[in-house]
């Protein structure tokens, strides 16, 4: 069953009624509703070409908002990140913790609660409370730098996400936040599903990853946003290796 918005359903009913009234003795064209009418046309393409066009559209702009869940290496993360070529900003949550991440160029900052900083092992709750109100600059040599910087990099995050696995096919017309989409599946959904916009550029709008590895939505493609380093008064250096979790 293909979900259709109430507005489109009413239009289809009206069009059908008009065709029924006028069809007798009249040669009519355009009386059957084409789900791809007025779209960017990708809905008429084979599934593999739709996936390719979505990948190229995603690579053609520098900014995007990515929101949803990812499961990798046995751990689950909830992401809400805004990304651009110079860096990114947003939050990453695990089952127990939430971090605020900010990257400007190659400089990475992390903001977390006192409980996180208290894991450093020194038992200094006052220091942990002080750190909790600041962006802490992550040293490039710290293991956490490598672990967290990927969450702020559009190319790293999207590089492997937008490829479905298995035999590709289309699975009807849908909507994502009011935008018409065409859905592509890998192995009838077992290899993931990707909803691609039928309006404007064929941006990917929703991804369900294979193997129940998470669901992500994409929005604000190409929308610029301000990215700058935190003020000096809001920044601290941790001075040693960040706590591991």
The whole-number average pLDDT for the span 90-100 is 89
DSSP-assigned letters across all residues of the chain: -----HHHHHHHHHHHHHHHHH-TT----S-SPPTTTTS-SGGGS-HHHHHHHHHHHHHH-S-EEEEEEEEETTEEEEEEEEEETTEEEEEEE-SS-EEEEEEETTEEEEE--HHHHGGGSS--HHHHHHHHTSEEEEPTTSHHHHHHHGGG-HHHHHHTTT---SSEEEEEEEEETTEEEEEEEEGGGTT-EEEEESSSS--EEEEE-GGG--EEEEE-TT------PPPGGGEEE--SPPPP-
Question: Does pLDDT of 198 surpass 90?
Answer: yes
Q: Would you place residue 74 in the very low, low, confident or very high pLDDT band (cuts 50, 70, 90)?
A: confident
Question: Does pLDDT of 84 surpass 50?
Answer: yes
- The reported pLDDT for the residue numbered 10 is 45
Nearest to 201 by CA among 47, 48, 56: 56
- The reported pLDDT for the residue numbered 126 is 72
Average pLDDT of the chain, as a whole number? 84
**158-187 tens-digit pLDDT:** 887 899 999 999 999 999 999 999 999 999
Residue, of 34 and 122, whose pLDDT is higher? 34
- The reported pLDDT for the residue numbered 38 is 93
Question: Does pLDDT of 203 surpass 70?
Answer: yes
């Amino acid at each position: 069953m293909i979900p259709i918005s109430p507005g489109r359903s009413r239009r289809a009913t009206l069009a059908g009624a008009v065709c029924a009234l006028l069809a007798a003795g009249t040669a009519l064209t355009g009386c059957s509703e084409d789900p791809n009418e007025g779209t960017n046309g990708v809905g008429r393409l084979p599934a593999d070409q739709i996936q390719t066009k979505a990948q190229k559209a995603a690579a053609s702009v520098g900014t995007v908002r990515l929101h949803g869940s990812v499961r990798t290496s046995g751990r689950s993360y909830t992401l809400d990140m805004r990304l651009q070529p110079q860096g990114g900003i947003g939050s990453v949550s695990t089952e127990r913790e939430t971090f605020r991440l900010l990257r400007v160029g190659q400089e990475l900052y992390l903001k977390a609660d006192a409980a996180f900083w208290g894991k450093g092992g020194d038992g200094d709750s006052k220091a942990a409370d002080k750190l909790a109100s600041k962006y802490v600059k992550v040293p490039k040599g710290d293991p956490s730098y490598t672990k967290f910087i990927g969450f702020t990099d559009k190319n790293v995050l999207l590089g492997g996400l937008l490829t479905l696995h298995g035999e590709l096919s289309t699975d009807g017309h849908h909507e994502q936040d009011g935008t018409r989409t065409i859905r592509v599946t890998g192995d009838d959904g077992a290899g993931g599903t990707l909803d691609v916009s039928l309006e404007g550029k064929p941006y990917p709008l929703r991804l369900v990853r294979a193997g129940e590895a998470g669901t992500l939505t994409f929005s604000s493609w190409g929308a610029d946003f301000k990215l700058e380093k935190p003020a000096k008064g809001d920044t601290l250096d941790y001075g040693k290796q960040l706590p591991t979790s």
